[in-house]
Amino acid sequence: MPQKNITLDAIFKWDVTNWSESLAFWERNCGADFKGAKVLEIGSSLGGLSLWAASKNANVICSDLTNPGETAKSFHDQFSFSGSISYQAIDATNIPFENYFDIILFKSVLGGVGRDSHPERQQKMIDEIYKALKAGGCLLFAENLKASFLHQYFRKKFVRWGTQWRYITIPEMTHYSAGKFELKYSSTGFWGAFGRSESQRKFLSLFDKLIFNKLISQSAKYVLYGVARKV
């Protein structure tokens, strides 16, 4: 079977228009050469970010709390990429590497790590990432923000895990990174989250991109993305 080209849909899967804004920001602000780089994706599920890094000729460990190899490898094998991907079970709060990786990636992981009101676990995850990165290495992240009162209300009413997931704020991410990382970030998205299907999310995200991202505060948006360089 012919292998597919890697698309934004393959990398992000859900709410692609808003979440994929992170890629251009990462590439602009990280400056790392992916060719031959040692890369770790945390909380990978199907490993869309692993696929993206491998397409840039990196050597990637695709990890989750349980080994994602069975499902993620089947997904990755559908695509053509120049780097390599291996699979491993890694707890984000206990990463078994030190000063090893050039780049660490995650998308929508901190909220799950801190579920049921445990911000100290979120801090521990950031501390472990710091430990695992080489000096000058980059954390590239995209995470769900607490966002507006409207987002908070609808999550509690209509999202099954909405009362358990610990959505972060921008000041919290700044605090978690303080003294460890040089942090650059931006945020995006307001209406996209309210789409019930991917086609609806893509449609609503266009309004975010064209209008609402320019009008509302960083903290009222629901996707935070950034680059944290180890210092």
CATH of domain 8-230: 3.40.50.150
**Tokens found for residue 22:** 């992170």
Residue ranges covered by each domain of the chain = 8-230
Tens digit of each residue's pLDDT (9 = 90 or more) over 45-57: 999 999 999 999 9
**Worst-scoring range by mean pLDDT, 61-70, 124-133, 157-166?**
157-166
> Rounded mean pLDDT of 71-87?
94
pTM: 0.95
What pLDDT is recorded for position 158? 86
> Rounded mean pLDDT of 174-195?
97
HSE (CB half, 13 Å, CA atoms) of 31? 6
Tens digit of each residue's pLDDT (9 = 90 or more) over 96-137: 999 999 999 999 999 999 999 999 999 999 999 999 999 999
d(CA 221, CA 21) in angstroms, rounded, equals 13
